Amino acid sequence: MILDARSATVFINGYKKLLLEISGTTGGNFKLLERLVEGRAKLLSNASLLDDALSRIHAQAQHVDESIVAAASSLRVNSWVYLRDTRRYSVFMEPAGTFAYGALGITNPIKELLGGAGALVETGLLLYEGRIVCDGLISSLTWIGPSYKKSFDKALSNIRSAGAFYTDRLAPRSETGKGSVA
């Protein structure tokens, strides 16, 4: 339910480099995570910033793995319903109940990252090395009660029956919620 060590290292280093470059230089009061979330938000609002950031990174004689560039291009940020971890993945559902994903954590299971299961969480999901990965940048977290969790579990069952549960691809952009890189 997490990436292997090599893939995690490549992802963290490349994604961080891209988002920090997109975020730009800021005053010393910004913490690293705030800058990463800011870079992600800017990328969602203007996809051309990805190419601009890559050009600046290359001009500094640095490199970002092409798999990270492709992953960043697939980024979807939403307030996902995080239901639980299984042995193979963490379950994220679009709040309207139309589709859901089995996503991997980068270095930790999502339940460990959040401190529990059953929450509405704003985060990014991307396609990396043929698998859906949670970017680990949590902007908002709201715990859901047992009645809501039960109704989301029922919706997940319907999603699976309808063939709208994915582990290796993201739903078409027209179906996605809050933000995606165009």
What are 111-170's pLDDT values in tens digits? 999 999 999 999 999 999 999 999 999 999 999 999 999 999 999 999 999 999 999 999
What are 41-64's pLDDT values in tens digits? 999 999 999 999 999 999 999 999
Q: Which of 89, 87, 80, 105 is nearest to 177 (CA)?
A: 80
Numbers of helices and strands, H then E, in the chain: 6, 8
The domain limits of the chain are 5-72, 76-180
User: Strand pairing partners for 81?
Assistant: 93, 120
* 65/79 Cα distance (integer angstroms): 28
Please give the model's pTM, rounded to 2 decimal places.
0.93
Please measure the distance between the N-terminal and C-terminal CA atoms of the chain and give it in whole angstroms: 28
Q: From residue 132, how far is each of 49, 90, 162 by CA, in Å?
A: 23, 10, 19
Please determine, for residue 17, whether its predicted confidence score (pLDDT) is greater than 70: yes
